[in-house]
Amino acid sequence: MMTTVIQNEARWDITGDIGMDNANSLLVSSKRLVLADQAVIDFAKVGEVDTSAVSLMLEWQRRAVVEQKQIKFVNLPKNLTSLTALYGVTALID
């Protein structure tokens, strides 16, 4: 399954797996999207993830800071929640 990021007003819907092989292309695709003042990035349709997903989330968080926006990550898969805790970045993405 192809991994995509689609904007639906203030919400970005992520679909597919996120790994080393596609995280950068997902980041590049997301740069074309508008980051709303109160953006929501939804992982409900995300399958498998690796540490690249954590890096991607941190990049989006950095963008939000630069653009003075706020983002909220929702419906994180359990394995992604575990990875954010393992790397001690849960507070940065909450």
Domain ranges of the chain: 4-93
Rounded to an integer, the average pLDDT of 58-72 is 96
Show the CA angle centred on residue 54, arms to residues 50 and 57, nearest 5°. Answer: 135
Q: Does domain 4-93 have CATH number 3.40.50.11540?
A: no
User: Is it the case that residue 69 has pLDDT exceeding 70?
Assistant: yes
- Report the distance separating Cα 43 and Cα 15, nearest Å: 7
DSSP E strands, the chain: 4-8, 11-18, 38-49, 70-74
pLDDT digits (tens, 9 = 90+) for 20-56: 999 999 999 999 999 999 999 999 999 999 999 999 9
Q: How far apart are CA 35 and CA 31, in angstroms?
A: 9
Residue 2 has pLDDT above 90, yes or no: no
Instruction: Look at the alpha carbons of 84, 86, 89, 94 in this order and tell me if their dihedral is positive or negative.
Output: positive
Mean pLDDT confidence for 64-91: 95
